[in-house]
């Protein structure tokens, strides 16, 4: 029996699942009632994705290992209530085995942190977010290095204290003396003091955000006429917006290298001293290793938490303070790409995503955002190639079908784009981003009822998906239901309070409801959050002009002219403003510039010029 178990473990370790399945049948024939035999059989079923077989085999078994496999299989089968009941009933048997864990350890019984994580997943899928957050928090209390528990808490918007999670005594590991020596690479040999301020000098992928010189002017594809260029908010279903934050966090230093030299003793005293030094060395290495891992995880967690709160500047600062070796990894590059995508720095975002794909060409995660980025940049060839490559990698990935849908959308094939987004939601009904893209395609085709359904499905999949709340608000605004639109915009702002487009949308609703003071406050706040935002400046300047506050409006238009010098509607309104100020020459100048920039609006501009005479 022991020999058969060794064969099974060897087969599982080397992904020989057919051998493992065959051997577990032999084992169960010899020892059918043993829980270890049942566990190994269920584990093989689970790895073979035969979840129903694993559930049937472990149902009613009180062993914790079998119960955990039962819960994992229930999670895959969407039998969340059964999995929750199984784990909740076994809590008295949960134990923490972290103190004795090693890198070569193998256990058939999961520790309490693993059980809490699985329980959190079950509660989250069942929609009980309070108990899910409690379970994830309990998992992190036992083992703060379970990253998926931390990510899930960030996704749910839970307020976390990083310092309490990664406190001094939280690291749990125990390692052999031979494992205590850190690799003598350039990363670990660098002095601790130098790591916090490390900046790569030549790589284009790690430039700090700096100003907002890359903020785009309002593109023609979003605007219908001359005056609508800056009147209508852009589509943030695909168009993410700048955020603002000031705080930053410095990463803890790397452990300094220890220069250990071999010493030969010449006396009993020297031998005794050397022996004591050798005994203290493992403790020194262990403390340095703990501090290094704790500081690294704390910084990564702080960056992810800031990004989940849409504090993009803070998150960018944290990730840029990582060492070059850690920063040039796919996960960090994807987050940096998404941060620049959120702040509409599309050129920088693309460089990070391209670097990511140089390192990991087969990565699927976050590629839906990269495809949307290429959609914004109108890179139809690159987008088509990306979509084709992702489909070849994994046809069952919703991200791949989002990329294909964005490609068809860029080619103005709405019907095929909708089919692709629908396919993405069929593959993963909890993939909120695909519903949102589907909703915006419906909006572009004036199918507002279908758009509402899509946005609501996105919200059901993820209530913190602010793009879906924004999408519903835009639909209601197009339908003239301003109160409903305002409610949905405010819900989006509650999730992402520093998104200037959402704030401008709220201001537009106040304008439509003749609450001009409230609208002006919204525009002022948007301008304070991002002074380089052309949209917020335009809305503010136009409102001031309508209130006959010409001198204040002129100040805003002068700033706006530098932000969007080629925007015809800006020069047209400046001409109108100078007309009211009786400055005829400047009015003629700006009307003429507007006419040159937008010949299609010539009838409006010519009428304005004639009115001057």
Provide the 10 A C-beta neighbour count for residue 419. Answer: 15
Query: Do both 192 and 48 map to the same domain?
Result: no
Report the pLDDT averaged over residues 447-454. 94
Q: pLDDT tens, 390-429? A: 999 999 999 999 999 999 999 999 999 999 999 999 999 9
Tell me the C-alpha distance between 59 and 539, whole Å.
62
Which helix (H) or strand (E) segment is 87 a member of? helix 80-88
Domain contains 507: no
Same domain, yes or no: 192 and 339: yes
CA nearest to 238, candidates 413, 427, 425, 444: 444
Of 356, 390, 421, which one is at a domain's C-terminal end? 356
Phi, psi (rounded to 5 degrees) for 342: -65, -35
Does the pLDDT value for residue 558 go beyond 60? Answer: yes
The DSSP element (H or E) to which 430 belongs, if any, is none
pLDDT in tens, 304-321: 999 999 998 899 999 999
Residue 171: pLDDT over 90: no
Q: Are residues 144 and 182 in the same domain?
A: no
Whether 273 and 150 map to the same domain: the answer is: no
Which one-letter DSSP state was computed for residue 84? H
State the residue range of the domain holding 320: 175-225+245-260+267-356
Window from 333-342, 468-477, 585-594 with minimum mean pLDDT? 585-594
Question: Which structure tokens are listed for 601?
Answer: 């609006």
What confidence score (pLDDT) does residue 103 get?
54
Q: Report the distance separating Cα 419 and Cα 602, nearest Å.
A: 40
**Whether the predicted pLDDT of 600 surpasses 90:** no
Q: Indicate the helix (H) or strand (E) that contains 285.
A: helix 268-308
Say if residue 203 is in the same domain as residue 333.
yes
Specify whether 157 is located in the same domain as 179.
Answer: no
With a pLDDT cut of 90, the percent of the chain lying above it is: 53
44 and 15 together in one domain: yes
Binned at pLDDT 50, 70 and 90, residue 607 comes out as confident
In the prediction, which pLDDT does 282 show?
A: 63
Q: What is the pLDDT of residues 392-402, one digit of tens each?
A: 999 999 999 99
Average pLDDT taken over every residue of the chain? 80
Task: Say if residue 297 is in the same domain as residue 194.
Answer: yes
Among 257, 255, 245, residue whose Cα is nearest residue 313: 245
pLDDT at 86: 93
**How many independent structural domains does the chain possess?**
2
- How far CA 304 is from CA of 3, 148, 153, 318, 367, in Å, comes to 46, 12, 11, 9, 18
Residue with tokens 């052309």: 534
Residue 168 has pLDDT above 90, yes or no: no
Question: What is the pLDDT at residue 263?
Answer: 33
Cα–Cα separations (whole angstroms), residue 456 to 125, 309, 451, 468, 597: 17, 22, 9, 7, 40
Rounded to whole angstroms, the maximal C-alpha distance in the chain is 109
Residue 101 and residue 167: Cα distance in Å, rounded?
Answer: 19
DSSP assignments along 365-378, one per residue: TTHHHHHHHHHHTT
User: Using one digit for the tens of pLDDT, what is the confidence trace for 197-248?
Assistant: 222 333 332 233 233 333 333 333 332 333 444 444 444 445 443 333 333 3
Per-residue pLDDT reduced to its tens digit, 44-101: 999 999 999 999 999 988 889 999 999 999 999 999 999 999 999 988 888 766 555 5
- Domain assignment present for residue 338? The answer is yes
What are the distances in angstroms from CA 587 to CA 434, 511, 557, 575?
47, 27, 13, 4
Q: What is the CATH number of the domain that holds 97?
A: 1.25.40.10
Distance separating alpha carbons of residues 453 and 543, to the nearest angstrom: 34
Tell me, what's the pLDDT at 291?
84
Quick check: 353 pLDDT over 90? yes
The pLDDT assigned to 123 comes to 95
pLDDT digits (tens, 9 = 90+) for 568-590: 889 989 988 888 888 988 988 98
Q: Do 172 and 97 meet the contact criterion of CB atoms below 8 Å apart?
A: no
pLDDT tens per residue, range 197-210: 222 333 332 233 23
* pLDDT of 280: 57
Dihedral sign of CA atoms 127, 132, 133, 134 in order:
positive
Q: Is the pLDDT of residue 196 over 50?
A: no
In a domain, 541, yes or no: no
pLDDT at site 497: 85
pLDDT at 384: 95
Distance, C-alpha 604 to centroid of its chain: 45
The percentage of the chain sitting over the pLDDT mark of 70, rounded to a whole number, equals 79
Residue 238 inside a domain? The answer is no
The pLDDT value recorded for residue 59 is 92
In a domain, 609, yes or no: no
Look at residues 307, 328, 356 and tell me which one is the last residue of a structural domain: 356
Task: Give just the sign of the alpha carbon dihedral 281, 283, 289, 295.
Answer: negative
Whether residue 209 sits in one domain with residue 156: no
Distances (CA, A) of 278 to 174, 216, 270, 271, 471: 18, 61, 12, 10, 65
pLDDT for 164 equals 87
DSSP structure class, residue 233 = P
Inform me whether the pLDDT recorded for 294 exceeds 60. yes
Distance, in Å, from the CA atom of 467 to the CA atom of 238, rounded to the nearest integer, reads 9
Q: Determine the length of the chain.
A: 613
Cα 202 from chain centroid (whole Å):
27
Shared domain check, 208 and 351: yes
DSSP for residue 244: -
Q: Quick one: pLDDT at residue 603?
A: 79
Within 10 A of 479 (CB to CB), how many other CB atoms are there?
13
Residues 80 and 106 in one domain: yes
Asked if 325 and 213 sit in the same domain, the reply is yes
pLDDT given for residue 611 in this prediction: 79
Residue 285 confidence class, pLDDT cut points 50, 70, 90: confident
| Whether residue 187 has pLDDT greater than 60 | no
Is the separation of the CB atoms in 369 and 434 below 8 Å?
no
How far apart are the C-alpha atoms of 284 and 286, rounded to whole Å? 5
Domain boundary among 304, 323, 356: 356
User: Could you tell me if residue 30 is inside a domain?
Assistant: yes
Does any domain span residue 51?
Answer: yes
Q: How far apart are CA 279 and CA 291, in angstroms?
A: 20
Residue 158 has pLDDT above 60, yes or no: yes
- Is residue 464 included in any domain, yes or no? no
SS3 call for 329 = coil
């Amino acid at each position: 029996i022991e020999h058969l178990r060794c064969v099974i473990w060897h087969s599982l370790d080397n992904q020989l699942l057919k051998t493992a399945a065959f051997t577990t049948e032999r084992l169960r024939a010899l020892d059918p009632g043993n829980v270890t035999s049942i566990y190994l059989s269920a584990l093989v079923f689970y790895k073979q994705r035969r979840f129903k077989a694993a559930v049937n085999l472990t149902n009613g078994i009180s062993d914790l290992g079998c119960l955990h496999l039962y819960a994992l299989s229930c999670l895959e089968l969407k039998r969340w209530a059964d999995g929750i009941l199984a784990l909740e009933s076994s809590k008295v048997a949960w134990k923490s085995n972290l103190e004795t864990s090693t890198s070569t350890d193998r256990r058939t019984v999961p520790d309490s942190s693993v059980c809490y994580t699985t329980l959190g997943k079950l509660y989250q899928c069942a929609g009980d977010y309070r108990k899910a957050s409690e379970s994830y928090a309990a998992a992190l209390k036992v083992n703060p290095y379970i990253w998926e528990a931390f990510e899930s808490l960030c996704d749910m918007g839970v307020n976390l204290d990083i310092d309490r999670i990664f406190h001094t005594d939280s690291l749990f590991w125990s390692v052999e003396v031979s494992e205590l020596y850190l690799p003598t690479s350039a990363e670990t040999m660098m002095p601790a003091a130098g790591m916090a301020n490390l900046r790569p000098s030549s790589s284009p992928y790690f430039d700090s955000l700096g100003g907002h010189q890359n903020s785009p002017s309002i593109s023609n594809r979003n605007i219908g006429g001359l005056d609508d260029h800056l009147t209508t908010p852009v589509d943030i279903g695909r168009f993410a917006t700048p955020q603002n934050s000031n705080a930053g966090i410095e990463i803890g230093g790397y452990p300094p290298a220890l220069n250990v030299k071999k010493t030969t003793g010449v006396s009993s005293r020297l031998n005794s001293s050397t022996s004591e030094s050798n005994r203290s060395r493992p403790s020194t290495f262990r403390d340095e290793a703990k501090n290094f891992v704790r500081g690294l995880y704390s910084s990564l967690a702080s960056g992810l938490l800031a990004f989940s709160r849409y504090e993009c500047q803070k998150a960018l600062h944290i990730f840029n303070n990582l060492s070059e070796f850690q920063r040039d990894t796919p996960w960090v590059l994807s987050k940096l790409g998404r941060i620049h995508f959120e702040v509409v720095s599309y050129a920088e975002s693309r460089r990070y995503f391209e670097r990511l794909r140089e390192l990991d060409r087969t990565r699927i995660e976050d590629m839906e955002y990269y495809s949307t980025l290429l959609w914004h940049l109108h890179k139809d060839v690159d987008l088509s190639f990306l979509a084709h490559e992702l489909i070849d990698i994994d046809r069952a990935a919703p991200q791949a079908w989002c990329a294909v849908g964005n490609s068809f959308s860029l080619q103005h094939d709405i019907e095929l784009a909708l089919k692709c987004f629908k396919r993405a939601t069929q593959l993963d009904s909890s993939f909120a981003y695909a519903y949102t893209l589907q909703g915006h395609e419906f909006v572009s085709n004036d199918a507002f009822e279908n758009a509402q359904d899509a946005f609501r499905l996105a919200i059901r999949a993820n209530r913190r998906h602010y793009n879906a709340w924004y999408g519903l608000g835009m639909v209601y605004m197009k339908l003239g239901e301003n109160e409903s639109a305002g409610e949905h915009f405010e819900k989006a702002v509650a999730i992402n309070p520093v998104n200037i487009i959402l704030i401008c949308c709220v201001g537009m609703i106040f304008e439509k409801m003749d609450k001009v003071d409230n609208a002006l406050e919204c525009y002022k706040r948007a301008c304070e959050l991002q002074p380089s935002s052309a949209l917020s400046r335009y809305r503010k300047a136009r409102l001031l002009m309508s209130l006959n506050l010409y001198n204040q409006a002129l100040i805003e238009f002068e700033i706006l002219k530098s932000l969007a010098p080629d925007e015809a509607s800006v020069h047209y309104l400046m001409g109108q403003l100078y007309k009211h100020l009786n400055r005829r020459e400047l009015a003629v100048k700006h009307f003429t510039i507007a006419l040159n920039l937008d010949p299609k609006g010539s009838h409006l501009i010519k009428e304005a010029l004639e009115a001057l005479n």
